[in-house]
Amino acid sequence: MSMIRALAVEGSRSEEADEAALPHVLLVLDQFGKTLGGGERIVLRLAALLPRYGYRASILTFAAHPESPGLLTPPCPIFVLPLHRTYDLTALKAGLDLKRFLKEQKIQIVQTFFESSDLWGGLVAKVTSSAKLIWSRRDMGILRDKKHSVAYRLMSNVPDRVFAVSEQVRQHCIEVDGIDPSRVLTIYNGLDLSDWHSVTRPAKRSGASVITTVGNIRRVKGHDIFIRSAAKVLSQFPDASFSIAGEVLEPDYFAELQALVGELNLSGRFHFSGGITNLREHLTAADIFVLPSRSEGFSNAIVEAMAASLPVVATDVGGNAEAVQDGVSGIIVPSEDVAALSAAILHLLSDAPKARQMGLEGKRLASERFTTDAMMTQITSVYSSLLKRR
C-alpha cells in the first residue's frame, strides 16, 4: 500500500478535463503547519495561478496539520507523504512510492521548497524520473543545520534550475552552495495589485501616527529591535503608536517581547495584533511600515506595504535593499541598530510630505517590478525552456 494519500479536503477544486491535458507540475514542500509562513503561501498562490499560464499543479507535503489554513480551500489536489526521517527504511519505501506517484501522475516538473523537499524529494525525483527539477530558494540558509549545508554543496549539480527570491539569495546559492551561475535565476515574488488601487486612509488627529510591522513572531524578525526603537521615537512623538501583526511561532521569544514592552513602559502605545485576516485594512490604517529583520530572503510584506503606499524602513539584509530604494521609497538601515532604526522613523515622522512621496514612489515601483504577471511570466518561461529539452 502506498504511503501517499490525497487529503480529502472539503472545497477542493475538481480537475477539469481540459486542464488534465496541461503539463503537470508538482510543488513539494516540507509541511503545512497550523500557521502558514511566506513559503507556504507562495506555494498555494503558485498552484492557483499556474492553470492560467498553461500548467496543471498538484502539491505534495511531508506533513500537514489538520487545522492548517492551507487545507481549507486548496487551489489544487494536495497529497501527503508522511516522512519523519530521510535516511531510514521508511524513507526508502517513501522514495519508491514517490517514484510510482511521479509516473502515475505524469509529473513533468518538480519544484521544491525548503530543505527536506530540496534535498530528499528533489534527489528522489531526479534519480527515479525524467521530471525536471527546480529548487526554490527563499533565504540565506539561516535555519540550516550543518548537514543541510554540506548536502546542498554535494548536490549542487542536481537541480536543473534554481529560483532565488532575491539577488542576495542568488549570490548565496552561487558562492556558498557552489551552484553554476547559469542555473540560478532571480525571480521576485509578485503581488496582485488590483486589490490595492483604491486605498482610503482613516482620519487621524495630528501626531497620532501608526508605525507597524508584519511578520510571524520569531527572533529572526528582529521585533525586539523594533520595540527598543519605539521607545526612542515616543520620547519625541508621544502620540505615535506601534504594532506587530503576526502569529506567535516562538512563545519564549514572544514572552521576552511582552516583558520588554512592560520594561520600557510602552504598554499603552505598543500593540500585538496577532494573526490578521485583512492585511490591506491593517496596512492602510498605518503611516509607516518597518521591517527590522535579522535575515530575509525577499519580504512579501515589504511589497504589500509598498502597494499600500507606505514609506518603508527596512534593515539591510537579504533582498530588502532590492525592494526598497533607499531615500526614494524608504530608508535602509543596518540590522541590529536601534539608533539607526529609530532615527529613520523619526525622519519620516518629522517630514510628512516626504514620507507621503516615498509611499507613492513605493507603489509605483511595486506596480512596475513586483507584479504577479512578471513573476509568473518568468517562472513559466523557465518551465517551457526545460520541457523543450526533454
Q: Look up residue 144 and give its three cell numbers.
A: 540550516
18 — pLDDT class (breaks 50, 70, 90): low
Same domain flag for 344 and 376: no
Same domain flag for 164 and 235: no
Least confident of 43-52, 137-146, 155-164, 288-297: 137-146
Nearest to 213 by CA among 139, 271, 295, 143: 271
Same domain flag for 291 and 383: no
Same domain flag for 292 and 166: no
Same domain flag for 184 and 224: no
Same domain flag for 133 and 53: yes
Same domain flag for 147 and 26: yes
Total number of domains in the chain: 2
Q: How far is the C-alpha of 17 from the C-alpha of 19, rounded, in Å? A: 5
Residue 62 lies in domain: 5-190+372-388
Write out pLDDT tens, residues 59-107: 999 999 988 988 888 999 999 999 887 777 888 899 999 999 999 999 9
Helix/strand/coil percent split, the chain, to 5: 45, 20, 40
Write out pLDDT tens, residues 208-235: 899 999 999 999 999 999 999 999 999 9
- What is this structure's pTM? 0.85
Same domain flag for 304 and 348: yes
Given a contact cutoff of 8 angstroms between Cβ atoms, the answer to whether 49 and 39 are in contact is no
The chain-wide mean pLDDT, for the chain, equals 91
Same domain flag for 288 and 235: yes
Could you tell me the CATH number of the domain that includes residue 126? 3.40.50.2000
Same domain flag for 221 and 350: yes
Percent of the chain past pLDDT 70, that is, above it, reads: 93
Least confident of 4-13, 40-49, 118-127, 298-307: 4-13
Same domain flag for 15 and 47: yes
Same domain flag for 235 and 335: yes
